[in-house]
Structure 1
């Protein structure tokens, strides 16, 4: 994976001067560092993504920490989540909707409707179709899963507000840009749009 990231960095340095400058500023991409989500089980990453939907990093992290303390583990596991009741999840800061989404995820796995291990061998579009059939899992959540759990290097999560704002800033887009404006810029990053996204996020942080 690290070799693939170094290859991506070299390709992006040649294809886009804006990303090249960010690579110079932030150094090697840490998308798949030792403490990154790619080393966690698929269930953990999907749970993490559901928690993080439409929340600030700080708010989501607070919920994650409380839930980890409740489970006595730094990894979200289906059996452990099943043992936590609705009120305990609510006390961690989860909304009623997100609690319903997490239970639906557990139900899909328990029933055999969703086989997380099979996702690794599937293309992006079938994964999107499979996961988005579940309540509360939309494009942003699937993109996060593709990037952070499966290590797909060519994902463009335009559902992420911070990424869009970073693109607008670094590429000086006019007010209220259209979706095709972002794609016109991102096409030069193929097949490494995940890596460019990481650098643009780093510039926001």
Structure 2
């Protein structure tokens, strides 16, 4: 998928973001999702809660090596995984509980996800939030990286907030409400704007030391 139209729109509507886009270069958002099915995408999103993307990807790769052997992840595999094995991979006790909740929920109610791609963003968030351990941020990661919706802004994400602080030279990290307000001008391409903000952190383009 090409994002030329989205990038041109963002550059025209936000000079600060335009500078960042020029520094980062081409958008590779479509290639940012290595998961093979919705279950594995949800596992990655749970693992990624409140830790850096780099750390999350390392833990997730260990998870894949241990449990999938290059095959799509199955609910039965997750149900049979022991706490000891999951802990040895680097998954916290709280997240192990969330993974258990996820596996049990899908085992009993998996059909509710069959039509997920045809639901609007808010309904997707509401559906996923029925699973204990999955909140708005985790559901937004599914919208962004699995369903690849183009107009999602995870305003509570600390990385997004820090990137905006540095990009706009703000004295303090903006609140989620302030991020939402700033992001109004990025509609209907807030996902692409978010991708560039995340990239600014990983590349240290804005001089942020993580």
Q: What's the TM-score, normalizing by structure 2?
A: 0.88
SS in 2 for 1:159: coil
Which 10-residue stretch deviates more, 149-158 or 80-89? 80-89
Quick check: 1:78 aligned with 2:83? Answer: no
SS in 1 for 2:154: coil
Contact 1:38–1:150 under 8 Å retained in 2: no
Quick check: 1:146 aligned with 2:130? Answer: no
Aligned to 1:24: 22
Aligned to 2:43: 47
Which 10-residue stretch deviates more, 119-128 or 78-87? 78-87
CA distance 1:60–1:104, shift in 2 (3 Å): same
| 1:54-76 Cα distance to aligned partner (Å, 9 max, x none) | 11234323321221221143554
1-structure distance, mates of 2:35, 2:50 = 24
Task: Say how many residue pairs are matched.
Answer: 201
Aligned to 1:7: 5
Aligned to 2:194: 197
Aligned to 2:100: 103
Q: What's the TM-score, normalizing by structure 1?
A: 0.90
Q: What's the RMSD between the two structures over aligned residues?
A: 1.8
Q: Which has the higher contact order (CA 8 A, sep 6+)?
A: 1
Structure 2 gaps of 5+ residues are: 203-210
CA drift of 1:145 comes to 0.5
2-structure distance, mates of 1:112, 1:183 = 33
Aligned to 1:92: 89
2-structure distance, mates of 1:11, 1:103 = 42
Which of these residues, 156, 171, 183, is aligned with residue 168 of structure 2? 171
Structure 1 gaps of 5+ residues are: none
Large movers: runs of 4+ above 3 Å = 74-77, 176-180
